[in-house]
């Protein structure tokens, strides 16, 4: 398992071992298979390419003392490669792929040869020191500690899945180097915040894997020293002492990695002030700064609204003001929503509330899966909620997925998150089994003298019927199944031993305890999945007077192929009854919604006038279709390859003359008179 809280004194639940749970059919099985069969190999090719990423080549240069070639690629490429190794580990173990496991051992040997005698390991700085053009630990934006943090996590996973120590030994040497670095920083009172602090989570997993308390002590020291940073910024969440944080601010990935790490620290040590802080920041985020898809970090670049009023530092992929959630320019970096999953999961482990798993599910099914194409080879860095045919301004990233992007942190992060998704199915505590994600699966469960295989049968997220039954039961007795009732549920029922418990909106966003005798009982769960029209808080100005369409846990969108006119000219009738239909996109079948909407005349068609008299709008009924948001941008003509691989210098900006298919989630509504 990636996050092992079985011995964490302040975690109330713990996950099942990775090898004990698997998807067996349906939506998630198909998704994980595509990741394993296509995405993992594709990413490996990108990392192996000297001309594209140069990542593996950087390790080869470091491993050969006579090689004087310069470093190439990004400063965080090492960490991205460690993330890919996690996805490859999951896939190799699940598929009994001995060749891939052997290849991973070869990479581990290469990484060990690149590591310096004192334990330091970050390829750009090793090469810079060798060639006399740079040094280590001079700039926090060189991502050295970030790289080592992902090394720790990947090495712990390797130990847990294979039982081997070779990768863990490398991680231990690197962690010991960090220990010396932090001790010196404390003594000299010269503290810098490590950006995107993956090492908090990584060090605590080192403690959980090795049992060596020094790694927990080091994680605590690293977190505590944040309060000693001079002239801190909201960008890195270090302007205020950590325990005084009240709102979520700054860079979205840095924030979610920070709070996920602090949640891990709380699980081990139980500092109530940290938990109170996590509650405050979480509440600020979920009530004012999360998109309907689960995306976070709304702004490409923004100034923190909370610092000194007349002095603002520019922050990339920033949380802005409360309710500041633009659609066309929504940034929503994929790594930010993945960081949200990490944070939500750790909050759930320390207090198993449905709200954490609900948001985790929303992010996983919507924004995370939207970040990769259905064929498993193309990726979004940012995830907008609306794409126009043509814009009068440029955006930072292109508006189509690409096989490789310069900032390649998101694809391997996404691959490992999809590969480990079965770990979010179940957690246990005493004789209780908590249901997390839903999907057809099998899991080996042991609770208070009972052991059995828990089988889940369902077509979720497209269908709300879920059946639980047990096989291979050892022992006698009952267990409590904690049924998660998602926040969108309006009606449903749970049936066991012929007795039915009705569900209503009052149950939404809670857990319901159901006693189950694995030897004889079958539990049937039913969540009704009507099509819902969802509105945003009135303070979300861009969505005022509009609705989004949802069904079950999925957010739906409309693209150019789904309507006979521009999406700007469409309004929805809130009384419309959409029908569910199977719809083919490439080689994948999704559940689409078909129905009618109204077409209006847009007085601004072809004009640049800023304001115009609205006039009377005639409504013409037209047929429309909506598809799950995760499936958008998979039907249009793909690029000719020119933009499959691109860099900031020449191809990141959107060309002025480029025209795209439209896509939108929010639509105006036409109320009947």
Reported as a single tens digit per residue, the pLDDT across 475-515 is: 999 999 999 999 999 999 999 999 999 999 999 999 999 99
> Concatenated DSSP letters for 101-168?
HHHHHHHHHHHHHHS-TTS---HHHHHHHHHTS--SSS-GGG-HHHHHHHHHHHHHHHHHHH---HHH
Q: Tell me if residue 377 falls in helix, strand or coil.
A: coil
How many residues are there in the chain? 673
Give, for 428, the enclosing helix (H) or strand (E): strand 426-429
pLDDT at 104: 98
Does 427-461+464-527 match 14-424 at the fold level? no
Domain boundaries along the sequence of the chain: 14-424, 427-461+464-527, 533-668
pLDDT tens digit sequence for 557-566: 999 999 999 9
* Cα gap 506→405, rounded to integer Å: 45
How many CB atoms neighbour CB 496 within 10 A? Answer: 19
Give CATH for domain 427-461+464-527: 2.60.40
Residue 143 burial (C-beta neighbours within 10 Å; 0-12, 13-18, 19+): buried
Q: Degrees (nearest 5) of the Cα angle 501, 507, 509?
A: 135
Spatial CA neighbour of 322 closest among 246, 242, 243: 246
Write out residues in the chain with pLDDT < 50, as ranges: 640-643, 646-654, 673
* Cα gap 480→432, rounded to integer Å: 5
pLDDT tens digit sequence for 123-137: 999 999 998 888 898
Give CATH for domain 14-424: 1.50.10.10
pLDDT at 3: 86
Place of tokens 């998660």: 484
* Cα gap 157→654, rounded to integer Å: 39
Q: Tell me if residue 624 falls in helix, strand or coil.
A: strand
What does DSSP say about strands 546-551 and 667-668: parallel, antiparallel, or unpaired? Answer: antiparallel
pLDDT at 194: 87
Query: What's the per-residue H, E or C state across 242-277?
Result: HHHCCCCCEEHHHHHHHHHHHHHHHHHHCCHHHHHH
- H helix intervals, 289-425: 334-350, 354-362, 369-370, 410-419
pLDDT at 308: 62
Residue 330 near residue 387, CB atoms below 8 Å: no
Find the helix packing angle between 198-210 and 144-162, rounded to 10°. Answer: 30
pLDDT at 625: 98
Residue 511 near residue 482, CB atoms below 8 Å: yes
How many CB atoms neighbour CB 42 within 10 A? Answer: 20
Q: Tell me if residue 391 falls in helix, strand or coil.
A: coil
Q: What pTM, to 2 d.p., does this model score?
A: 0.96
Place of tokens 């079985």: 6
Q: Tell me if residue 385 falls in helix, strand or coil.
A: coil
């Amino acid at each position: 398992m990636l996050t092992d809280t079985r011995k964490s004194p302040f975690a109330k639940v713990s996950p099942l071992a990775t090898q004990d749970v698997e998807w067996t059919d349906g939506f998630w099985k198909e998704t994980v298979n595509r990741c394993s069969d296509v995405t993992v190999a594709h990413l490996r090719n990108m990392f192996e390419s000297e001309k594209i990423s140069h990542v593996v080549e950087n390790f080869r240069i470091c491993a050969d003392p006579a090689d004087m070639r310069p470093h190439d690629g990004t400063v965080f490429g090492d960490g991205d490669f460690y993330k890919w190794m996690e996805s490859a580990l999951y896939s190799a173990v699940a598929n009994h792929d001995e060749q891939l496991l052997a290849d991973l051992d070869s990479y581990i040997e290469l990484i060990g040869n690149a590591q310096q005698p004192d334990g330091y390991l970050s390829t750009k700085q090793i090469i810079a020191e060798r060639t006399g053009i740079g040094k280590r630990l001079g700039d926090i934006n060189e991502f050295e500690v970030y790289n080592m943090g992902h090394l720790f996590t990947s090495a712990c996973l390797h130990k847990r899945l294979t039982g081997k120590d070779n990768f863990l030994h490398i991680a231990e040497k690197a962690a010991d180097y960090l220990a010396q670095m932090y001790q010196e920083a404390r003594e000299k009172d010269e503290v810098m915040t490590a950006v995107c602090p993956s090492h908090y989570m990584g060090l605590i997993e080192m403690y959980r894997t090795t049992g060596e308390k020094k790694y927990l002590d080091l994680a605590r020291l690293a977190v505590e020293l944040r309060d000693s940073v001079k002239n801190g910024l909201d960008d890195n969440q270090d302007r205020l002492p950590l325990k005084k944080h009240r709102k979520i601010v700054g860079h979205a990935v840095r924030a979610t990695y920070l709070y996920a790490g602090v949640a891990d620290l709380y699980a081990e040590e139980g500092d109530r002030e940290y938990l109170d802080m996590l509650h405050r920041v979480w509440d600020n985020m979920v009530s004012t700064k999360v998109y309907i898809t689960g995306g976070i970090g709304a702004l490409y670049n923004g100034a923190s609204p909370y610092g000194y009023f007349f002095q603002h530092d520019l922050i990339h992929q920033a949380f802005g003001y409360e309710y500041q959630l633009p659609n066309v320019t929504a940034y929503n970096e994929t790594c930010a929503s993945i960081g949200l999953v990490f944070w939500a999961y750790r909050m759930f482990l320390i207090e198993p509330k449905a709200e954490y798993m609900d948001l985790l599910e929303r992010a996983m099914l919507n924004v995370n899966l939207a970040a990769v194409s259905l064929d498993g080879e193309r990726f979004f860095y940012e995830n907008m909620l609306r794409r126009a045919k043509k814009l009068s301004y440029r955006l930072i990233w292109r508006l189509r997925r690409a096989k490789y992007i310069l900032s390649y942190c998101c694809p391997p992060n996404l691959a490992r998150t999809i590969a480990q998704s079965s770990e979010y199915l179940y957690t246990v505590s005493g004789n209780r089994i908590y249901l997390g994600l839903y999907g057809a699966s099998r899991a080996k469960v042991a609770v208070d003298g009972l052991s059995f295989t828990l089988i889940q049968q369902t077509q979720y997220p497209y269908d709300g019927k879920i059946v639980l039954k047990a096989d291979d039961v050892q022992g006698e007795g009952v267990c409590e199944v904690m049924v998660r009732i998602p926040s969108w549920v309006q009606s449903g029922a749970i049936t066991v031993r012929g007795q039915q418990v009705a569900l209503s909106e009052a149950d939404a966003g809670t857990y319901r305890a159901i006693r189950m005798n694995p030897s004889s009982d079958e539990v049937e769960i039913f969540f009704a999945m009507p099509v819902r029209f969802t509105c945003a808080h009135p303070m979300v100005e861009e969505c005022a007077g509009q609705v989004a369409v949802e069904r079950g846990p999925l957010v739906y969108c409309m693209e150019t192929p789904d309507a006979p006119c521009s999406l700007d000219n469409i309004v929805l009738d809130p009384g419309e009854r959409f029908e569910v239909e199977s719809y083919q996109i490439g080689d994948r079948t999704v559940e689409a919604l078909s129905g009618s909407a109204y077409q209006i005349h847009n007085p601004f068609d072809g004009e640049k006038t800023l304001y115009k008299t609205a006039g009377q709008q005639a409504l013409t009924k037209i047929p429309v279709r909506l598809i799950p948001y995760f499936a958008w941008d998979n039907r249009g003509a793909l690029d000719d390859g020119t933009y499959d691989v691109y860099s900031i210098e020449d191809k990141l900006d959107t060309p002025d003359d480029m025209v795209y298919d439209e896509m939108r989630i929010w639509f105006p509504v036409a109320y009947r008179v």
